[in-house]
Amino acid sequence: MIAKDFYIVISSLPDRENLVAEICYKGYQWVEISQELSDEMVVQFYSHPKQQYWEFPLEDALATLKQAKQMLLQKGSTKEVNKTLQFYDKAYIEACEARPNYILWVRFEDGLEGEIDLSERIGRGELKPLKVKEIWESIRIDPDSKTVCWGNEIVLNPVLIKQEILRSQHSSDPSDFT
């Protein structure tokens, strides 16, 4: 568990090939852990921006360093993260149908296709107008964003649609798309 007043951010910096763990204490960056030049992790300590030195309980600092290292190891390399981003970047829909009982069918340009049951979401929030059959059936693909839309008001996020289809192939966990 991360000690009070510490927080860790795993990020991909433009000047780095691999991910880094940035550790902050009370809002100021204290440490950066990276693994750029070898298999060994390297820690860089930053000077305090307002004081001459950092001061906090040693055990809290050590526990936070250990947690940051574990988080960095779990996330993997920037290359692995980029593979995931490229997968979702290909979330362009090439075909869709508004099927009976508020079942949405889509096919992505990468070949993934599937159905999503929107029946429990229709009639609520941004999807409320879709309760009207004529509006539901007026589904189309937006030529700019290459995602499902109804008119200019209701647009579904293609990445979330893709995630929902992939998830539905393994479970029935509901998600929010808009």
- CA–CA dist 165, 77 (Å, integer): 26
Q: Where are the domains of the chain?
A: 6-75, 90-168
The fold for domain 90-168 equals NE0471 N-terminal domain-like (3.30.2020)
Asked if residues 26 and 2 have their Cβ atoms less than 8 Å apart, the reply is no
Which 8-state DSSP code applies to residue 103?
E
Residue 42 has pLDDT above 70, yes or no: yes
What is the average pLDDT score of the chain?
Answer: 81
* Predicted confidence (pLDDT) per residue in 13-40, tens digit: 766 777 888 898 888 889 998 876 667 8
Beta strands in 12-162 (DSSP E): 20-25, 28-34, 42-45, 93-99, 103-108, 113-117, 140-141, 148-150, 154-155
Residue 11: left if φ>0, alpha if ψ -120 to 50, beta else—which one?
beta
* Predicted confidence (pLDDT) per residue in 111-155, tens digit: 889 999 998 888 777 888 999 999 999 999 988 878 899 987 788
Residue 106 has pLDDT above 90, yes or no: yes
